[in-house]
Amino acid sequence: MAEFPTTPGEVDTAWLEAQLGQAGLLGDARISSFDWVQIGTGQVGDTARFALTYDRPCDAPATLAGKFASADPTSKGTAAAMSLYVKEVGFYRELAGLIAVRTPRVHAAEIAEDGADFVLLFEDLAPTRGGNQLDGCALADAEAAMRQAAALHAATRGSPAVLGAAWLHGRDGLLGEIGRLYHQAHAIFRERYQGILAADAMALCEVLDMRVDGFLNRHLPEPGLIHGDFRLDNILFGVGNGAEPIAIVDWQTCAVGCGMTDVGYFMGCGIGSELRRPNEMALLDLYAEEMSRRGVLTTRAGLWNRYRIGALHGVFTAVFSAAFVARTERGDANFLSMARGACELALDHDSIAALDHYTETGTC
């Protein structure tokens, strides 16, 4: 049994008081009562909002957010096998404080030895405007996201704390397992979306399935920390009723990688082609300018081929996730939206040719 609550219903007053006391927020106060409600639509983790009252004034917040392993056994099993919970807890324990990216402040970060149960207790950033994959976003939101991506990548490129974190690299043999599972996922994805996803997009998925081992095992240039699922559903805008512009959440897919994986993913899966196509070059220039401002001299031309390959991360993720998390109506729509946008970006810029060139030459 875990020595911490593994569902919202297991949280009790004593545990909450211990976490707030360790954070120096409670003082002499005690929790008079608390309640919780489920929030969010995450498919590999369950999130709840806790509302608390105290017996006297104190610095402790009136609400907190808690995150736990998914109640769905398929989603939970996938997350544990892929070390997703290990990564998110590790991020908040070791790396969140190193980056100039707005993330929730964490009060508890615990994980079971087998990586299948965890708890995060952190700052509730509400009221916010949560990004919505199916609704898209305004250009200003995309610009804010590009600035946050640059803040993450510039601060962690070549960082010993990132490159030396064994939990970020995954266990031995994991990439091979993912590659084998991807072939299964592709068969499920094809059956589910054949005739719904455009024919040229489905053909691209077929080609990536044939090249997935090379895609997964490619050497990543100038590695640093990447978010790995950098799209609208994992971004909050107008934090604290507009007091702050943006925050990035859901770090269970963080990894060591090339920053263009996040950027290509966001531009394809995140904002869709209607917004991307007329603004793509300006957004890439903005990212490059922000990286340079933060001390990493960058140009759009220097990023271009890495960006083309990064677009394939969106195709890969849409296909893989559709098969191995709990199936819901919104999830189906979400994965279709991700695949459509990512495939359109990859087709616009012939991402497969960029991957093939990298495989042959080792340069991008």
pTM for this structure? 0.94
- Report the CATH number of the 129-361 domain: 3.90.1200.10
| Phi, psi (deg, nearest 5) at residue 171 | -75, 160
Which of 11, 241, 255 is closest to 156 using CA atoms? 255
**Which pLDDT score, from 0 to 100, does residue 175 have?**
85
* Count of other CB atoms within 10 angstroms of residue 165: 18
**Which pLDDT score, from 0 to 100, does residue 2 have?**
67
Low-confidence residues of the chain, pLDDT below 50? none
Is the omega angle on the peptide bond into residue 5 within 30 degrees of 0, that is, cis?
no
**Which pLDDT score, from 0 to 100, does residue 352 have?**
98
Decide: residue 116, CB within 10 A, 0-12 exposed, 13-18 middle, 19+ buried: middle
**Which pLDDT score, from 0 to 100, does residue 294 have?**
97
* Count of other CB atoms within 10 angstroms of residue 274: 11
What are the residue boundaries of the structural domains of the chain, listed by start? 8-123, 129-361
**Which pLDDT score, from 0 to 100, does residue 42 have?**
67
**Which pLDDT score, from 0 to 100, does residue 247 have?**
97
Q: What pLDDT digit, counting tens, does each position of 78-112 carry? A: 889 889 999 999 999 999 999 999 999 999 999 99
Same fold? 8-123, 129-361: no
**Which pLDDT score, from 0 to 100, does residue 343 have?**
98
**Which pLDDT score, from 0 to 100, does residue 342 have?**
97
**Which pLDDT score, from 0 to 100, does residue 241 have?**
85
Fold of 8-123: Phosphorylase Kinase; domain 1 (3.30.200)
β-sheet bridge partners, residue 38: 48
Which of 181, 207, 155 is closest to 74 using CA atoms? 181
